[in-house]
Structure 1
Amino acid sequence: MGASSSTEQIPKEQQEIENQAASTGALPMLRNAFSKLSNPQTQTIPLKSLQDCLTVVITNPINEASPVPECFPRLVGHLGTSIVDLFFRADKGGVHWVEFLRGYIRCCDRMSASMSLNTLYRLYAVTSAKAGHPSKLEFESDETDGKISGSLVSADVLMLLWICWIMFQSSRYLKSSKGQAKIDLPDIKHLILSAVTSCAELGNDLNIWDCSISSLEFELPAGKFHMWALKTVPNLVQCFNQFVHNRLQRCVLLEDKLEPSSYSVGDISLREVYDRHLLTSGRAWAISLTLRSNLSEEILRPFFPGSNDETFENLIYRSSLHGKGLNRFWSNIEGYNGSLLMLVCASSGGAHEGITNVGRWVIGVVTQQGFENKEIFYGSSGYLYAISPIFQVFSPSGKEKNFVYSHLLPSGGVYQSNPKPVGIAFGGTIENERIFIDEDFSRVTIRHHAVDKSYQPGSLVPNQGYLPLEASILEVEVWGLSGQKAKEEQITYKKREQLFTEQRRKVDLKTFASWDDSPEKMMMDMMSDPNSVRREDR
C-alpha cells in the first residue's frame, strides 16, 4: 500500500512498480493522491472517487466557427469513467495501490508517440461508445502497440481534437477550489481541413475557401490519420498525459470533498478580442502541438484560463498598429534577442462578393533568434507553417541552414554595384527565396519548395503550383516567445540606442567659442578673396 512503513516487507511486484512510478517523478504525488482518495478501512480507492477525480462536465457548449455536435457534452462527461475502465483495474473493494500505480503508468509513462496516439484513439473509441456515438475505429488487441484499423469521420476528428483541448486547458485550473471556469472552444477548421486533405480521397467538389466543417462527410482511414497526427500534431498525446497527472495532483491540493469539475464552454468575449489578431487560440494551439519546448507555453500564454491580458505584451509588431514597411518593422523588433513567431496574412485575389475568405491565407515562421540586418542568410533553426486555410508544418531538413534573411537599405546611400535584396526572406537562396517580403510590406512572394533545401518540402498556399506566387499583404504580426526577460532586455537596448542618438545630435559649443576658429569666418574669408594664398595646416 502507498502508506506502508519502510520496515514492512514490500512484495517484489510492488517494489518494481513503485520504482517504475518513481522514474516518472510522480511517486510522492501518487502516494498523497492514494491516501486522499482511498478508503482507510479497505485500503482501496472506490471507483466512484477515482471517476469523479477524472470527470469533466461542460455546459453551454458554443463555437461560432463550427457547430458543436449534440453528443459532445455527453462524450466529455464520460471521459472520467472511460479512463478508469481502460487503465485502472479494480477488485471488489476498489483499486488497490499497485493497480493504481499501474493505471497511472499506462496513462503517463514515457512511450513512443505512436503508442501514445494508439492510447488516445482507444480512449476516444470507448468514450464515444459510452456517449451513444460509437466510432468506426477497430483494434487488433488490447495492447497499446496493437494494430489499429477502421476509420474516422470529420466529426470524430473535430470532437477528438476538442476533447484534447479541454484536457489540456483543464489542467490550468488547479487553483480553483471548485473547478468552476470557462473554456473557450477554439476554431480548429484549419486542422480539420489538414487532416481531411491529407487522409481522405477528395474529388473536385471540396472548396477549401468556403466550406463548413459540419458539411464534411469524408471518412479518414485510421492508418492515414495516424501518420498525419505523427507528422502534424506530434504533441497531441501530451494533452492526455498532463490531464491525468494534473487531475490526480488537484485532488491532493483540494481540501474540500472532490467533485467532478464543471466548465462552461464558449466565452465569446475572449474569442472576439483575439479574433481581431492573426494569432487566435486555435492557430496558437496548432503551432504549439508541433514544438517540444517552452515555446509552446509562450505561444498559448494569452489564451490560458484566467488570462485577461488585453495589452498583448508578447505582441511586438503589428502592421495595422505600428505601420507598414521594413523601417517601422525594424524599429519595433530591433533588440529582441529571442525566439519569434511571425505571421503574414495575404490575399492572392479571386475574392467574391460576400465571401471574404476566398483567396485569403495565413503563413507563419518560428525563428530561434531575433532578426539581424545582414546581407546573407543566418539562423540556427526554424519552422515554416501553412496556417490557414489548411495547417501544415515544415521543419528543418538538415541539408542547408538558410533559415532567415533580413536586410535593410545601407545607411548613407552608399553605392553598391551588386546590391542585395531589401526585405525579409525565409528558405531558399538570395533572389530565389522560398518566402520573400518586400521592404514596403505590400507584396509577398511564395516560391515552390524545390528552391529550398533548408525546410521540408510542401505547399505553403493551397494550389500553389510551380511558378512563383505573388500576393498582397493584408497584415503582419510578430510575437515574442522568450518571455519577460527578453522583452526587458529589448527595452534596455532601445533606451541605450536612444541615448546614443541624442548624444550624437548634441553640438559642442566650446569648439566654436572663438570667432577665428569658427567655420563661418573661414567661409566668409574664402568668399571675400578666394585666390589668396593660405597655409595648409598639417
Structure 2
Amino acid sequence: MGASSSTPSKATAQQREVESLAASTGALPLLQKSFAKLADPQTNIVSIQSLQQCFGLSCKGPIFEASGMPDYFPQLLDHVGSSIVDLFFVPEKGGISWVEFVRGYVKFCGRMSASMSLNTLFRLFAMTVKKAGLLLKLEFESDDVDCKINGSLRAVDVLVLLWICWTMVWNTTTSKFVKRKANLFLPDINHLVLSAVISCADFGSGLDPWECNISSLEAELPVGKFLSWTLTTVPSLTECLTQFVNTRLQNLVTMEDESGPSVSHSEDISSKASDALLLTHGRAWAISLAAKSTIREEVLKTCLAVEGVVMDGNLLYRSSLLGRGLNRFWSNIEGYHGPLLLLVSASSEDANEDAGKVRRWIIGALTQQGFENRDTFYGSSGSLFAISPIFHAFSPSGREKNFMYSHLHPTGRVYEPNPKPVGIAFGGTSGNERIFIDEDFAKVTVRHHAVDKTYQSGSLIPNQGFLPVEASISEVEVWGLGGRTAKEVQTSYKKREQLFTEQRRKVDLKTFASWDDSPEKMMKDMMADPNRVEREDR
C-alpha cells in the first residue's frame, strides 16, 4: 500500500502535506486501498494506462438519441479518463507514485471554493474537447486553479458539458442500485441550456423558448456570465466530477465494477415510462442540481431509475390517474411528513403579440414538510421552480415565511364571516398569492414576483409580465422525497385511519336480534294500522 511504503521516520514533508490534505476530505483510507489495488506490487507505482481505465467513460454501442445530440459526443466520452489523468496527475519514472496519486486527487477533489471547483471542471472539459480534436473558445490565463477564464461558449458546448456531467452522475448513481453496469440514457435538457442562453447571451431575452432549436442556435455565451449562471442556478454541478471519481475508486476497492469501467448503452431503461410523467429524467436532474441538501439524493434516485428500480416509487399523486381536485389530492398525500415536490403542467395564451396562441409550461414547488390543512401560510423553507420550457430556481429570500398554504373546506356547516381561499398556494399573501391552485385543480394563477417576499424574484413563466396569468391545468404530480421512513409512516397513518373509519361504520347487530324490537316490525305495524295506540312499557 502506498502509505506503508515509507515509514514515519522516512516520510517526507511533501508526503505528510498531501496526506494531510487528503485526510481533511475523509478520503485518505479510500486512497490507500485503491492505490494498493492499482499499483504494481514490485515497483509500488500505478501505470498511467490503469488509471486512465479506472476513470474511463468509453461508449461501446448506440446511445439513446436525445433531441439535438452532436455526433461527436461519444468521442468526447472516450477522452474523459485520459484527460483526468493528464490534467491532475504528474507521472514519474514508470508511472504515478503514492505522493503524486494523492496530490492528483487533492487537485480536483480537495477542499476548495465553488468557483475553484467550477474552474477545475472547465479545465477538464477544455482538455477533453482538445483531445477529441474539436475547437473551444476558452482560454486560461495560467495554470492556477483560481485563474481567470476568458472566451465564450456556444449553446451546443453547454449542452455537451452538461451531458458529460450527466454521464458521470448516471454512472455514479446507478452503480449504487444495480450490481451490473446500467445503460446510459441521455435525457432532454434543453430547458437547462435555454436557461443559460437566455441568462447569458446578449440577445437571449428576445428568444422564443417554445420555438428555439438548440443545435442551430448561434449564441455566444461569455464564460464569465456562464460561470455566474452555473453558481446561482445549478450550484451542485461541480459535485458531479468529485462524486464520479470517488465512486470509481470505491468500486475498485469493493470489486463492484467487475465488468470494467466502460459504459454500455442500449434502450432497456425506464425512459419510455418516464416520458409520460412531468418529472422526466432531465427535469429531475435539473432540480437536483439546484438543491443543496439531502433532498438532492432522493431526487436523483427518482430521475436515475434503471432496471430493478421503480421509477414511480415516490409518486404519491397524479391527477390523471387518481382524480382531480383537492379532496383526491388530500386523500393521497395526507400523513406524509417529509419533503414533497409538486409539479403543475398548465397552458395559457401568449401575452405578447401572438395573442391567442396557447403555450404549455410546467412550474414546481419543493417543500421541506408535508401539507397541512390550515387557513394561514406555514412552512420552514422551500423553493419554487420554473421547469419548462426554461429552468430557473427560486430559493427563499429570507424576508418572509409564507412558504406554503393548503386549505380545505371546513367540515360541518360553520359560518365564516371572512372565508379563507380554498386551494393550494406558495408565496405572496392571502388573496394575492404568487402561485394559487384552485380546489378543483382546474385553474392555476401565477402572479408577478413583486407580490412575493418569501421567494426570490424572477419569472416563473417566459414573458410573464406584470399582470396575473390564469392558466388551465392539464396535470398535477406530487413526489415524496422523504425516503422510505416517510412512506412507511404514511402507510401506517392510512391503515390507522381506515381502521377508525370501519369502526365508525359498524352496526351493533345485538340490538336488532329480536323481531319485536326491530325497526322493520315497527314500520310494518304503523303501515297496517296508523291509528293504533300502543302502551309504552315503563
Query: Shared topology, TM-score over 0.5?
Result: yes
Match of 1:225 in 2: 226
- How far off its partner does 1:289 sit? 0.6
Rounded Cα–Cα distance in structure 2 between residues aligned with 1:176 and 1:494: 29
Q: Distance in 1 between matches of 2:172 and 2:310?
A: 23
- Check whether the contact 2:448–2:459 (CA below 8 A) recurs between aligned residues: yes
Given that 1:53 and 1:258 are in contact with CA atoms closer than 8 Å, whether structure 2 keeps it comes out as no
The residue aligned with 1:88 is: 89
Moved more, 246-255 or 43-52: 246-255
Task: Say whether 1:188 aligns with 2:215.
Answer: no
Mapping for residues 467-478 of structure 1, pairs under 5 Å: 467-478=467-478
Count of aligned residue pairs for this structure pair: 522
CA-to-aligned-CA distance 1:102-156 (integer Å, 9 cap, x gap): 1001111121111100111111011101101121011111111111110010111
Match of 1:294 in 2: 294
Over 3 Å counting, the alpha-carbon distance change for 1:436 and 1:303 in structure 2 is closer
Residue 147 of structure 1 corresponds to 148
1:350-375 alpha-carbon deviations (Å, 9 max, x no partner): 69xxxxx9600000111011110000
Unaligned runs of 5+ residues in structure 1 are 352-356, 530-538
Q: Distance in 2 between matches of 1:183 and 1:319?
A: 30
Give the conservation status (yes or no) of the 8 Å contact 2:334–2:490: yes
Question: Which residue in 2 is equivalent to 1:197?
Answer: 198
SS in 2 for 1:183: coil
Shift of 1:305: 5.8
1:247 aligns with 2:248: yes
Contact 1:448 1:467 in 2 (8 A): yes
CA distance in 1, matches of 2:44, 2:288: 41
User: How far 1:252 moved relative to its partner?
Assistant: 2.3
Q: Distance in 2 between matches of 1:528 and 1:513?
A: 27
Within 5 Å, which residues of 2 pair with 1:289-328?
Answer: 289-304=289-304, 306-310=306-310, 312-328=312-328
Report the CA distance shift for 1:372/1:260 in structure 2 as closer, same or farther (over 3 A): closer
Q: How has the CA–CA distance of structure 1 residues 228 and 528 changed in structure 2, closer, same or farther, with 3 Å as cutoff?
A: farther
Q: Distance in 1 between matches of 2:140 and 2:262?
A: 31
Q: Distance in 2 between matches of 1:121 and 1:181?
A: 27
TM-score by length of 1: 0.90
Distance 1:8 1:335, change over 3 A: same
Amino acid at match of 2:373: N
**CA distance in 1 between partners of 2:25 and 2:370 (Å):** 35
Contact 2:336 2:486 in 1 (8 A): yes
Contact 1:139 1:147 in 2 (8 A): yes
1:116 maps to what in 2?
A: 117
Q: Secondary structure at the match of 2:58?
A: strand
Residue 104 of structure 1 is matched in structure 2 by 105
Please name the residue that 2:396 is paired with: 396
Change (3 A) 1:40 1:212: same
The alpha-carbon deviation at position 77 of structure 1 amounts to 0.6
Structure 1 residues 377 and 2, CA gap change in structure 2 (3 angstroms):
same
Which amino acid in structure 1 is aligned with residue 123 of structure 2?
A: R
Once residues 148 and 91 of structure 2 are traced to their aligned partners in structure 1, the CA distance between those partners, rounded to angstroms, is 26
Secondary structure in 2 aligned to 1:426? strand
Larger mean CA deviation between 252-261 and 374-383 belongs to 252-261
> Which segment is superposed worse, 246-255 or 80-89?
246-255
Quick one: percent identity of the two aligned structures?
60
Residue by residue over 1:185-244, the C-alpha shift from the partner in whole angstroms, topping out at 9 and shown as x without a partner, is 111010000000000012786321122211112010000000000011000011100111
Matched residue SS, 2:145: coil
Aligned position for 1:504: 504
Give 1:349 deviation, angstroms: 3.3
Offset from partner CA, 1:458-483 (integer Å, 9 cap, x none): 00000100000000000000000011
1:464 aligns with 2:464: yes
Q: C-alpha displacement at 1:249, in angstroms? A: 2.1
1:116-515 matched pairs, under 5 angstroms: 116-172=117-173, 174=175, 180-202=181-203, 206-254=207-255, 259-264=260-265, 267=267, 270-304=270-304, 306-310=306-310, 312-349=312-349, 359-508=359-508
C-alpha contact 2:270 2:307 (8 A) present in aligned 1:
no
3-state SS of 1:348 partner? strand
Separation in structure 1 between the aligned mates of residue 215 and residue 228 of structure 2, nearest angstrom: 24
Gaps of 5+ in 2: 352-356, 533-538
Checking the alignment, whether the CA contact within 8 Å between 1:251 and 1:258 is kept in structure 2 is no
SS at match of 1:289: helix
Q: Check conservation: 1:66, 1:212, Cα contact below 8 A.
A: no
- How has the CA–CA distance of structure 1 residues 305 and 54 changed in structure 2, closer, same or farther, with 3 Å as cutoff? farther
Structure 2: how far apart are the matches of 1:451 and 1:309?
42
Once the 2 structures are TM-superposed, how far is the Cα of residue 379 of structure 1 from its aligned partner?
A: 0.4
Q: Distance in 1 between matches of 2:283 and 2:257?
A: 37
Q: Tell me, yes or no, if the aligned pair for 2:63 and 2:184 is still in contact at 8 Å.
A: no
Deviation, 1:254, is: 2.9
Tell whether the 8 Å contact from 2:209 to 2:389 is kept in structure 1 after alignment.
yes
- 1:455 match: secondary structure: coil
Of 68-77 and 122-131, the range deviating more from structure 2:
68-77
> CA offset at residue 500 of structure 1?
1.6
1:341-398 Cα shifts (integer Å, max 9, x gaps): 00000000369xxxxx960000011101111000000000000000000000000011
User: 2: CA distance between counterparts of 1:374 and 1:513?
Assistant: 45
SS in structure 1 of the partner of residue 5 of structure 2: coil
Write the distance in 2 (CA, Å) between the matches of 1:434 and 1:412.
Answer: 30
| d(CA) in 2 for partners of 1:330, 1:112 | 43
Secondary structure of the 2:349 match is: coil
| Alpha-carbon distance between aligned partners in 1 of 2:426 and 2:201, rounded to the nearest angstrom | 31
In structure 2, relative to structure 1, the CA distance for the partners of 1:480 and 1:203 (3 Å cut) is closer
Asked if the contact 1:45/1:96 (under 8 Å) is kept, the reply is yes
CA contact (8 A) 1:125 1:135 kept: yes
CA shift in 2, pair 1:487/1:70, >3 Å: same
Give how far 1:180 is off: 4.4
Aligned counterparts of 1:444 and 1:152: Cα–Cα separation in 2: 37
Q: Residue 181 of structure 1: SS of its match in structure 2?
A: coil
Measure, in 2, the Cα distance between the counterparts of 1:207 and 1:121.
29
Q: CA deviation at 1:178?
A: 10
Q: Is the 8 A contact 2:174 2:306 kept in 1?
A: no
User: Structure 1: which amino acid aligns with 2:349?
Assistant: G
Q: Secondary structure at the match of 2:290?
A: coil
Distance 1:447 1:477 in 2: 21
Judged with a 3 Å threshold, the aligned counterparts in structure 2 of structure 1 residues 398 and 205 are, in CA distance, closer, same or farther, namely closer
Q: Give 3-state SS (helix, strand or coil) of 1:160's partner.
A: helix
Measure, in 2, the Cα distance between the counterparts of 1:507 and 1:255: 59
Q: Deviations over 1:256-290 (max 9, x none)?
A: 999541321x5275221100100100000000011
Partner of 2:42: 41
What SS does structure 2 have at the residue aligned with 1:413?
Answer: coil
- Once residues 248 and 59 of structure 1 are traced to their aligned partners in structure 2, the CA distance between those partners, rounded to angstroms, is 22
CA distance in 2, matches of 1:169, 1:269: 12
Cα displacement (A) at 1:309: 4.2
